Amino acid sequence: MEPSGYMPIVLQSLVALGFVALVLIVVPLLGPRRKSDKKNENFECGIEGQGNARMPVSIKYLMTAILFVLFDVEVIFFYPYAVNFREMGFNGFFAVLMFVGVFLLGFYYVLRKGAFEWDR
């Protein structure tokens, strides 16, 4: 398939963009507008707000994101293989098996080091 096959995708994105923009512009005009300082405060279950929400979060989330990037790139490598999997036969399979071995080694290391321990 040639690049021109992507034209419908552009069309669909224009339709979706138009719909989203239209709703985001029109809807605020339909509802009532009654502003007050108390109402526009951030919701904190009724108590007085303390500071703002620009605060550091647990490093475990960052760890998850870093490991996600690494594993995601490794997973991407499997796609070109999977498409050609039958043609490659056992040669390709062993090459990928080695890659999967290294993948699992890294996975086991990260597991043992406790990066996935969320209950501690």
Partner 1 sequence: MSLILLFTTALLIEKIILISVLFAITLGVAAYSTYGERKVAAFIQDRLGPNRAGPFGLLQPLADGVKFFTKEDFTPNAAERWLYILAPGAFMFVACMTSAVIPWGTQLTIFEKPVDLQVADLNIGILYIMGFVSLGVYGIMIGGWASNNKYSLYGAIRASSQMISYELAMGLSIIAVIMMTGTLSLKEIAAQQAGLNWNIWYQPLGFIIFLVCALAECNRAPFDLAECETELVGGYHTEYSSMKLGFYLFAEYINMFISCAVIATLYFGGYNFPGVDPGWLGGFMGPIVLFAKIIFFIFVFMWIRWTIPRFRYDQLMHLGWKSLIPLSILNMVLTGAGVLLFEN
Partner 2 sequence: MTLYIFLTLAIVSVITALLMVFSRNPVHSVLFLILTFFAIAGQYVLLNAQFLAVVHIIVYAGAIMVLFLFVLMMLNLNSETEPQKSTMWKIMAAIAAGSLLLTLTGALRGSVQLATPVQSNPRVGLVENLGKVLFTDFVVPFEIAGILFLAAMVGAVLVGKKDLKL
Render 68-113 in DSSP notation, one character per residue. HHHHHHHHHHHHHHHHTHHHHHHHHHHHHHHHHHHHHHHHHHHHHT
Q: How far is the CB of 36 from partner 1 (least distance, A)?
A: 10
Of partner 2, partner 1, none, which one sits near residue 45, judging by CB under 5 to 8 A according to partner kind?
A: partner 1
- Enter the tokens of residue 60: 């475990």
Distance CA(65)–CA(76), nearest Å, equals 16
Q: Which residues contact 108 (CB under 8 A, 6 or more apart)?
A: none
Is residue 64 within 8 Å of residue 110, measured between CB atoms? no
Residue 59 interacting with partner 1 (CB under 8 A): no
Provide φ and ψ at 42, rounded to 5°.
Answer: -70, 145
Chain residues in the site for partner 1 (CB under 8 A): 1, 5-9, 11-13, 15-17, 19-21, 23-24, 27-28, 30-35, 37, 39-45, 52-55, 57, 61, 64-65, 68, 71-72, 75-76, 78-79, 82-86, 89-90, 93, 96-97, 100, 103-104, 107, 111, 116, 118-119
Chain residues in the site for partner 2 (CB under 8 A): 1-3, 6, 52, 54-57, 59-63, 65-70, 72-74, 76-77, 79-81, 83-84, 87-88, 92, 95-96, 98-99, 102-103, 105-106, 109-110, 113-115, 117, 120
